[in-house]
Structure 1
């Protein structure tokens, strides 16, 4: 990945008000992949006292979208499927890994996985449109 794109992702693309609201942290970047983390605190709990599905879906979408950005696309989400496999407990750190699995001319497909420690708790598949095209 070019240094210019790396800096743009870290300083601009990832630094949105929504990412700040959820306290998402970008922890790793590579061509076609990104790792984003969040700590489950009271601000993202549902009524059952676990991470709200919307927060974990946002975590997945962000990891996948940033992974798509690393290949030079300017992504917007077209479609996303999320399978919730286990809850995200309070005070735990969740780690989302996004990977590009298919680059087309205008459509990019990515997969996302969210882990709590070593346990897979969310599996996601996303389709992104490249706004540059």
Structure 2
């Protein structure tokens, strides 16, 4: 179990949403202000053009940024986010999402994420999260 500043992978795994579980997202690394998430690609994630659906990529960005905010011990809710699709990802293997907090405020948290496929950057996002309540971090 990876532990950094009281944040554990188990903590983030226990608060994954049903949506995240349905997709099969896995938290593989955490530290204060950072979370790394993996997603194994499934054929049902493809769009009509035979590439990964952009909504899946956006969801992965949002989850990585939200998880990075959760490492601060808060309950973040997405206010807004922007995604830049840089390149289509492959249709096999896995995506790696790296979320990082850019600025931590009392009310708002600003975060960014990057999505990689085979070490190639395929998407980048930035988002704003509102802090709804403190969250106790227990492993």
TM-score by length of 1: 0.92
Between the aligned partners of 1:92 and 1:124, the Cα distance in structure 2 is 22
In structure 2, the partner of 1:28 is: 29
Residue 49 of structure 1, CA deviation: 1.0
How many equivalent residue pairs?
Answer: 130
Q: Gaps (5+ residues) in structure 2?
A: 135-139
Residue 8 of structure 1, CA deviation: 3.1
Greater fraction strand: 2
Output the aligned Cα RMSD: 1.4
SS at match of 1:64: helix
Residue 88 of structure 1, CA deviation: 1.5
C-alpha contact 2:12 2:27 (8 A) present in aligned 1? no
The 1:23–1:2 alpha-carbon spacing in structure 2 relative to 1, beyond 3 Å, is: same
SS at match of 1:131: strand
C-alpha contact 1:68 1:75 (8 A) present in aligned 2? yes
Residue 6 of structure 1, CA deviation: 5.3
Between the aligned partners of 2:23 and 2:10, the Cα distance in structure 1 is 21
- Name segments (4+ residues, structure 1) moved above 4 Å: none
In structure 1, the partner of 2:6 is: 2
TM-score by length of 2: 0.88
Q: Does 1:80 align with 2:84?
A: no
